[in-house]
Structure 1
Amino acid sequence: MSALRFVLGDQLTRSIPTLNGLDPAADVVLMAEVMDEATYVPHHKQKIAFLFSAMRHFADGLRAEGVKVDYVRLDDEGNTGSFTGELERAARRHLPDAVFVTEPGEYRVAEEIDGWRTRFNVPIHVRPDDRFFCSTVDFARWAEGRKSYRMETFYRSMRERTGLMMKGGAPEGGRWNFDADNRKAWPPGETPPQRLRFAPDEATREVIDLVERRFPKHFGTLDDFGWGVTREQALASLDDFATRCLPSFGDYQDAMRAGEPFLYHATLSPYINAGLLTAREVVDRAIREYEAGRVPINAAEGFLRQILGWREFIRGVYWHRMPEYKDGNALGAARSLPTFYWTGDTPMNCLHNAIEDTKRQAYAHHINRLMVTGNFALIAGIAPAEIEEWYLVVYADAYEWVELPNVHGMATFADGGLMSSKPYAGGGAYIDRMSDYCKGCSYSPKVKSGPKACPFNYLYWAFLIRNAPKLQHNARMAMPYRTLARWDDKRKAGLVAEADAFLDSLPTGYP
């Protein structure tokens, strides 16, 4: 019996279920670079280059083991541009008795794979993706009967279930959550560590040339490409983070600094989401560093919460609520995405820095994503589908399963509070407190209205005024609404008019 084993581009894990039971003498591994996956949104050039190069290196590693690999490059003659088309061609070439694939990370691909069972006259075996701590079935059991989902509740259940950072049935250190210790601003004068980056090898340079040639109008630049593209490089990045950055990660995980996109953040998400690292080994390494006394508990727990808590939680929400989930728009946001999201050309220095860093690195850490680009989209009333597509386009770690709940549920509150107890809306004061962006800005976070005012200030209050019918009874929004209650109608109308005038002045659309 021969099998065709289809490994997708975000499944670059040697232990992926697709490859379980592989018979090198009879089976063939299929991998394909297809135009559909590069263009269903116009992905950042670095994301395409990272994945294609990582796929090619993964295939070389299998060949070195003696595995037969049928690898289809983007520019190969006859490439159909789709997973289905390439499976069909490969089935004609190899005449397999069965096809094996691991369940994909995105709903649209799952629908495509579902169609294979009726299209092909060969058994299609779709195996569960076991690289997560919580299966989609287990999440559905946890979610059953709940009107809303809260990550903290889920996270505690996962701690208990896995035993990670638990001692005698209680959380390590006597607390579930050390987040209150993780909100320090970046110290003036401190220089962040230089991060481990990798010079492109010959294979990666070939892919970079391909991407520049085939996707010249896609967002971003390849000039600073430094992502690892092999398992060995991903492991080196994990070691670099664990030894040099994790000890201070907790303290400064919410800090932002102009021109410094990485600070002490892990920058491991592209590797984990593509499969070059597993969530289990990343978490285990962080806990070993803590147990050895090299990392404080607030850093270790904060990192564990991001992986075991948040990452698993949003994947569960995605698969439990799709496909209807993406269509929600609880606040009725309808404005078009400003052009500066693509160009970075804005006098708002925080947004300029976050977007420029993203153009150069295909990366921004979570506070830039939530409280700068996400916060602006929320309080400006950007249509959820438009800002969701932007996030899917611009980051090397973005796949719909991780991007959509983060943006739809947390950044834009478009699900009406299903997974977040309040909108993450804020004015200029938060950005000023947690960054140095405001020092180089044309606007002042201390000015509330007028031409010198930080737009985040009047946009924030206008957002609250417009959405009062839906938000004013939210207990976590009580304080700002008490403030609003003391303002007269004229003052409120002036803020809304100022916000509208500013937003109406912004060009929209892709340049």
Structure 2
Amino acid sequence: MTNAAALPPALLDPGQAPERPVLRLILGDQLDPQHPWLAEVRLDVLYVLMEVRAETDYVRHHAQKVLALFAAMRRFATRLHAAGHCVRYLPIDAADNRQGIVANLQVLAQSLQAVAVEYQQPDEWRLDAELRLWAQAAALPVRTVDSAHFYTARDGVARALAGHRHWVMEHFYRRMRRQHRVLMDGDQPAGGRWNFDADNRQPWRGEPAPPPDPRPRHDLRALWATIVAAGVHTLGDPQAHALPWPLDRTEALAQLDAFIAHALPHFGRFQDALSARHERLFHSQLSFALNTKMLRPHEVVARAEAAWRTGHAPLAAVEGFIRQILGWREYVRGVYWAKMPGYTRLNALGHSGPVPAWYWTGETRMACLRAALRQTLDGAYAHHIQRLMVTGNFALLAGCNPAEVHRWYLGVYIDAFEWVEAPNTLGMSQWADGGLMATKPYVSSAAYLQRMGDHCTGCAYDPKQRVGARACPFNALYWDFLARQRQRLAAHPRMAVIVRQLDRMAASEREAITRHADDLRARIDTL
């Protein structure tokens, strides 16, 4: 158990600042000790990190997200200082904290007579716009550099797919494999296939046993008390007595080692599985470390490929894992920067319903949703199928307002930063962009959830029934969604066959489904 809440006095003492420094801003998701900035110690540079209400309050965040970010930032600043760098750290409760990034930079630049300000490109459009606007009017030079983290530049996906009528992640992914020589045998994909999805869709029935959770535990009760006293409003369980997330690169590397050694060999087969008996199964839970840049995607991909090359893990598992990082992660970032700032306002399906109140409590009788939501609220984490095919699937079928769904996802997950969350939520999950991000709406009835998981056993609802008091709500809402969106989906190459199933139903059955779906939406908070 470690305590990462304290800061050395030198990080707070204005007398420690160099005269007329260059200020270099490091954001909370830029905790990369290998960034080129840090290759040499420059005594004319003052690194600035800050905890501000502007970042804690733009949505209501999970307690563990705020706690882990602040603790990791404090540890990063402490280690920069120990390595000889000059550091100024503004904690959330500092008397001179203006609670905004630009406001604090202005005060520091003036009080220290800074000669310039430099910052790494933010990954969120909101912060990028704020800093660019300030830079244009600032009385001193303001320069930006790349975060040196991603495989591609912000516009890399747009350039890679410029000649394609429709953007498809698979096209981009294959290009990345070729360009970076990942899982390639000469000019051909390893194993003769680009994609092993068909091998990676097995439910988990108890064997093999998932490995123990390798994550560290941190006692952050003192920091949590500071956050609460500062008036920051959060949701979920802070687990401040034993926070289970890596707070620096060393801990993140240990988590990567454990995943490669024990979970990756089984990851592929069960990556889409749902289980009431085990929350994590064989997922890596490395996204927080990656998205805060403690780990680099290149090293994670290289370690996974080496596991296959040495015979430690099967190709299907390794390819499925690498596709998430080299493919999806880079792709969603490219979509985000190509479509912002308007992307988060898209609502192609015209959905306007409320997000159910139990998304904030987990108090629902639907067993799969109850498990995913309670896991989220307790641990700030759910794996991608829980997000896409359980919570996201229900919100889409129920017709929830996608902007509201987006804000919920952005707040509740430890790894949720807007560049990665918005395209996954609004495009992949809610289809609010009308198909810019995903080739089809990811919707299902209870049949998929029953096939891939074990929550239906003992649930208050029956996955076999479409209507009636015990009918699983996913069923009526699924068929009603297809009926409501029939005109849009009837000509869709991947959805037309399902629409034809709807058309073959008796008119009386379709009417009963519509009535039941309307009733479900009317009393959605009681399901």
1:162-182, CA deviations, whole angstroms, 9 ceiling, x for partnerless residues?
111111111111110111111
TM-score by length of 1: 0.96
Structure 1 residues 111-168: Cα deviation after superposition (integer angstroms, max 9, x where no partner): 1001222342111111123211111232221232434211111100100111111111
**Runs of 4+, deviation exceeding 3 Å:** 20-23, 188-191, 211-217
Is contact 1:4–1:27 with CA below 8 Å preserved after alignment? Answer: yes
Once the two structures are superposed, residues 330-368 of structure 1 have per-residue CA deviations (whole angstroms, 9 ceiling, x without a partner) of 111110111011010000000000000001110000000
**CA–CA distance in structure 2, aligned partners of residues 146 and 339 of structure 1:** 41
Deviation at 1:325, TM superposition (A): 1.7
> What does 1:102-251 correspond to in 2, within 5 Å?
102-188=120-206, 190-201=208-219, 204-214=220-230, 217-223=233-239, 225-251=243-269
- Give me the whole-angstrom Cα distance separating, in 2, the residues matched to 1:199 and 1:412: 35
**SS of equivalent residue, structure 1 residue 70:** strand
- Structure 2 gap segments, 5+ residues each: 1-19
CA distance in structure 2 between the partners assigned to 1:156 and 1:163 by the alignment: 10
Query: What is the aligned partner in structure 2 of residue 290 from structure 1?
Result: 308
* SS of residue in 1 equivalent to 2:394: helix
Aligned to 2:113: 95
**What per-residue deviation string (whole Å, max 9, x for no partner) do you get for residues 461-502 of structure 1?**
000001101111101112211111112333222211101101
The one-letter amino acid paired with 1:208 is W
Q: Quote how far apart the aligned CAs of 1:187 are.
A: 2.0
State whether structure 2 residue 479 is matched by structure 1 residue 461.
yes
- Residue range with higher mean Cα deviation, 365-374 or 448-457: 448-457
Aligned Cα root-mean-square deviation (Å): 1.6
Deviation at 1:92, TM superposition (A): 2.3
Match of 2:3 in 1: none
Instruction: Please name the residue that 1:8 is paired with.
Output: 27
Distance in 2, Cα, partners of 1:53 & 1:112: 25
CA distance in 2: counterparts of 1:196 and 1:215, whole angstroms: 33
CA distance in 2, matches of 1:212, 1:288: 44
Question: Could you tell me how far apart the structure 2 residues matched to 1:124 and 1:55 are?
Answer: 23
CA contact (8 A) 1:45 1:220 kept: yes
The CA distance in 2 between the partners of 1:407 and 1:354, in whole Å, is: 16
Work out the CA distance in 1 between the residues paired with 2:362 and 2:229. 23
How many Å apart are 1:421 and its aligned residue? 1.3
Distance in 1 (CA, whole Å) between partners of 2:133 and 2:174 is: 38
- 1:257 corresponds to: 275
1:38-62 per-position Cα deviation (integer Å, ceiling 9, x unaligned)? 1100110000001000000000110
Give the Cα–Cα distance (whole angstroms) in 1 for the partners of residues 277 and 380 of structure 2.
14
Worse overlay, 139-148 or 388-397: 139-148
Q: Distance in 2 between matches of 1:132 and 1:415?
A: 24
Mapped to 2, the partners of 1:138 and 1:491 lie a distance apart of 49
Query: Counterpart of 1:33 in structure 2: which amino acid?
Result: E
Q: Could you tell me which amino acid in structure 1 is paired with residue 25 of structure 2?
A: F
Q: How much does 1:281 deviate?
A: 1.1
Larger deviation: 483-492 or 123-132? 483-492
Aligned partner of 2:42 in structure 1 is 24
Shift of residue 216, structure 1, vs aligned partner: 6.9
How many Å separate the matches in 2 of 1:194 and 1:210? 32
Q: Which residue pairs with 2:6 in the alignment?
A: none
The 3-state SS of whatever aligns with 1:437 is coil
Distance 2:401 2:491 in 1: 23
Is 1:440 aligned with 2:443? Answer: no
Aligned with residue 339 of structure 1, among 338, 345, 357: 357
Give distance in 2, aligned partners of 1:82 and 1:145: 41
CA contact (8 A) 2:466 2:513 kept: no
Check conservation: 1:261, 1:363, Cα contact below 8 A: no
Q: What's the offset of the Cα at 1:194? A: 1.4
Report the CA distance shift for 1:76/1:157 in structure 2 as closer, same or farther (over 3 A): same
What letter is aligned with 1:220? G
- The number of aligned residues is 505
TM-score, length-normalised on structure 2?
A: 0.93
Identify unmatched segments of 5+ residues in structure 1: none
